[in-house]
Chain A
Amino acid sequence: MNVVSSAPDLANLQRIAIKVFVSADSTITARDVIPVFHRWIQTGAVNGLPIDVANYSHLPTGPCVLLVGHEGHYVLDRTEGRLGVQYNRKQPLEGSLADRLLSVTRHVVRAARLLEADASFSTPVRFLGNEVEIIAQDRLLAPNSDETLVELRPALDPLLTRWSGNTDWTVSRKSDPRAPFRVAAVTKATDTLENVEARLFESNNY
């Protein structure tokens, strides 16, 4: 195995991805989302420059459908068998790590809320308001280690507090050292993504 390790340097981390999960009582398929992503390109429904839609629905895990963008990709994702929507940031963002985490989170929550509100689905889709995954797609700046998690917490914790309005979160790191740094955050307090969105888009003071 060719794991190379460096000390984390999250101050410069830009390749951040955030995933929110589809609730157990609803679902969304590639067939549903492909026309929606094309429509988002036509209408400029999401931030940045959307380029195209990539269909990987033939893969049983991993990315299923991508709205490929210049700044980042919106992904209907099935990594580890869990369906959700993820925003993978590709281009640099301004601000501190906390600012960048908030910005990426806002992107994915806004996209998930658009899907919740989309009238084209035969049954509405709902996303969980009490669970989120943070992924660093950069092994140089964010190796998958406890050290990286320690360095992330000062920026992550305020985001989670803002997300839920409380501090009662369980945060755990997925341990495969070859996989990207991936942190699952879960809170017992249930809430809708609509409320989460409202809190995330309040003023930046927190």
Chain B
Amino acid sequence: MTWKDLLGERVPTALGREIDTYENQIALKRLGKIDDKVFAETRLRRGAYGQRYDNGQRNDGTGVKPLPFPSNGQTKGPDTIWDAPGMQRIKIPFGGLTTAQMDTLADLAEEYSDGVCHITTRQDVQLHYVHIDDTPSLMRRLAAVGITTREACGNTVRNVTACPIAGVCRDETFDVTPYALASMRFLLGHPDAQDFGRKFKVAFSGCRDHACGLVNMHDFGAIAVTRTTDGVEQRGFEVYIGGGLGAVPHEAKPFESFMSEEEILPTLQAISRVFARLGEKRNRARARVKFLVAQLGVNEFRRLVREERDSLAADERWTAYLNELPRYGEQALKTGRPLEDAGSSAYQTWSRTNVYRQRQPGYAVATVSLPLGDLSSGQLRGLADVARRFVGDTVRATVEQNIVLRWVRESDLPALHSELEALGLARPGAATIADITACPGTDTCKLGIASSRGLAAELERQLAKQIDALEPAVRELRIKISGCFNSCGQHHISDLGFYGVSRHVGGHVVPHFQVVLGGKWVENGGAYGLAIGAIPAKKIPDVVRRITGRFVEERRGSESFYDFTIRIGKRALREMLEDLTTVPPHEVDTAYYSDWGDPREFGIGDMGIGECAGEVVSLTEFDLAGAESQVFEAQLQLEEGDFGHADTLAYGAMLQAAKGLIKTEFVDISDDPDQIVSEFRTRFFDSKVFFDRFAGGKFAQYLFRRHARSDPSDDASATRRLIEEAQLFLEATHACQARLAGQLPAAPPPTSALPPTERPS
């Protein structure tokens, strides 16, 4: 008996056929009949990801050691060992889950994963430590409850996100849920959305002001609006295009102020065709829509899309779902009734932050605040039961890694709280500074540099203890943390953002976080912050205390945190953190040399450094410090609106960092930019010494591109991007320097052919 046999017709035919094909591809790959890259994209398009250490290497705290998986050289992608555990991403459109789906996810976590379900910042669910051989059964069991993992990853349309309180929100223009659902169904597997160079992300928001939909950071973002024509109200969307976070974030550009609801799907199709035709395919680092929009200009992009739209053959699916809209809507399980009982003090604390009154009288939304987005199988199964009793059949995952129960009768709230408490799911402080978003970071992500989850857990622990004592203006702030610059933790759009970097200190590598300020969570992620400096990971709680403390002390009236940081300015903010940048020597305090929640020594610091090398390293470090100052000064000039000067400084920072690196081989390098770039290209780029194991030579291209341009830019967005690029170039230089000094490993070959070490028990 197999799951395929047992589930039979419960698996929809089309989904079953797709999974059969996927299973055949696994078999063919095992026979060596599918190319590594092709198979990698195949599994990625079904949400089956690689995970940290799947290259067969791990730093155990004493050095990088091989992990001898028994795979006999079998791989599931380039440098990805077959038997290494992976991550399964499960697409949950707009975060909407039924109770039956929750039960199944709980089962799958127990049987194939580690007993934990993780909610992501895109309303997905992720299971970690999954063996690829288990993925076909896992997918069939999901399909049996109406979930597909198709296009959960790869160069596809990713999960379509939407406000988790759509339909019950007091401020929304209208419920965007059916539009998100229709977009997902229309684009899933659509032939015009299969040939992208990179992923494509879509979001719907019910209003402009709140953060729920985060339209500003999406490739295609739509905000619900209406207009009245000849006395008739018409639904439509204010559409934004070309947004995205990642290493170099772009704010979305206005595409159309009113796009009628009938035009949403054909426009998405037209954009898909333009993106597939003109988007970058070879250079992944510049393949998102944001780069195409930046390259063409939004006006030309719009013209091309409209031209494409006009040439499309009509498709009845564009509008068929609109006929169902009048009948769309969730049914409340119980008749609404106001709250009569004040409840326990624990309930009152919880309700202050975790309860939102719906626009429908007598009903509320209750937020189940999940630490680090995690809940155990038992908790998820218990939550499904609670949902059945209190709200009916559905819940929604949120981009803040929580779950909301909608349509709770207000009079039931104390009882609901009690039941959540019994499950360990009544954590107060939802949507506060203690409810931190974090990407997986070094826990499981191959690209993680520092432990975003470790830091988030520590900050949550410290902040939760004092949450009631915090000033309301501080309590409402958001902290978001990424393990690297790629911004999966959305650090750019946070009040206090952090992303992981490393620094080379006295022969050791020390985990640090860049402090990102100036971001806006509200207004759909309305502004992106910039890094003001790297602080040792162990000092980040002090950063939070100092900055929030100063905000409380110096706040003017009802000034927002964003306005406060702008008024104070980055120079002053950086100055107040300056002393925190100091790392005591290893022999004085080893705590700085390991990450939060992980006792391993960070990196490998046991390699001796000769006097000569030490001197050269000192020169290099001097240049790197100078480069850091220049890039920070560039931010200040950007803030003051002197874009040309900011551009020149960012460029200068890259030159100085490159020069520092060149000094490890050629001390007499001049200050001539042409010579610096030429020497850098020969010694570090052509030789691939500078290459990142995942990003290749991407960061070096930032320097080359800017060097090829003689005049500084006077455009705010372009300058801002250059500063981001300069910061990334500096990080890559730090990493390269550490590799040269022997503190970080060079990209090693896979070791999958090594024999297993099973011993008899």
Contact = CB atoms under 8 A, between A and B. Distances in A.
Contact of A137 (B111, B424, B599, B761): B111
5 contacts: A34-B599, A55-B454, A58-B374, A60-B424, A179-B378
Interface string B691-727: 0000000000000000000000000000000000000
A9 B1 contact: yes
Given A60-B424, A70-B83, A41 B60 contact: yes
Contacts of B457: 55, 57-58
Contacts of A35: 599
Interface in A1-23: 1-2, 4, 6-7, 9, 15
B757 interface: yes
Interface in B105-132: 106-107, 110-111, 114-116, 128-129, 131
Given A47-B761, A61-B379, 4 more contacts: A6-B6, A42-B60, A52-B52, A62-B379
B146 to A, nearest CB: 10
Interface string A73-90: 101000110000000001
Contacts of B104: 2
Interface in A150-177: none
A62 B377 contact: yes
A58 B110 CA distance: 18
B377 A49 contact: no
A35 B567 CA distance: 45
Contact of B110 (A42, A47, A180): A180
A4 B145 CA distance: 12
B66 to A, nearest CB: 10
A191 interface: no
Contact of B378 (A62, A71, A90): A62
A124 interface: no
A110 interface: yes
A38 B761 contact: no
A106 B444 CA distance: 29
Contact of B114 (A58, A73, A79, A106): A73
Contacts, number: 137
Given A35-B599, A180-B110, A6 B381 contact: no
- Nearest first, the 5 closest Cβ-Cβ pairs linking A and B are A62-B376, A60-B424, A58-B371, A2-B100, A35-B599
Interface of A: 1-2, 4, 6-7, 9, 15, 34-35, 38, 41-42, 44, 47-49, 51-63, 66, 68, 70-71, 73, 75, 79-80, 90, 103, 106-107, 110, 137-141, 178-180
Nearest to A3: B103
Contacts of B343: none
Output the residue of A4, A44, A56, A62 with the most chain B CB within 10 A: A62
Nearest to A15: B111
Nearest to A180: B110
Contacts of B1: 6-7, 9, 140-141
Interface stretch (B35-43, B67-75, B201-209, B652-660): B67-75
A63 B114 contact: yes
B2 interface: yes
A106 B58 contact: no
B756 interface: yes
Contacts of B69: 49, 70
A61 B761 contact: no
A34 B83 CA distance: 24
Interface in B445-498: 453-454, 457, 460
Interface string B582-624: 0000000000000001111000000000000000000000000
A163 to B, nearest CB: 15
Contact of B103 (A15, A70, A138, A178): A178
A100 to B, nearest CB: 12
A23 to B, nearest CB: 23
A138 B6 CA distance: 13
Given A54-B443, A55-B597, A179 B116 contact: no
A7 B374 CA distance: 33
A4 B140 CA distance: 13
A59 B100 CA distance: 23
Contacts of A49: 67-70, 756-758
A140 B114 contact: no
A107 B759 CA distance: 11
Contacts of A66: 114
Contacts of A44: 757
Contacts of A107: 761
B374 A59 contact: yes
A68 B53 CA distance: 12
A57 B443 CA distance: 14
Contacts of A4: 6-7, 10, 144
A180 B1 CA distance: 18
B375 A59 contact: yes
A15 B107 CA distance: 13
Contacts of A57: 457
B70 A62 contact: no
A75 B67 CA distance: 20
Contacts of B110: 137, 180
Nearest to B8: A4
A195 to B, nearest CB: 18
A53 B443 CA distance: 8
B103 A1 contact: yes
Nearest to B104: A2
A61 B376 contact: yes
Contacts of A9: 1
Contacts of A137: 110-111
A47 B423 CA distance: 34
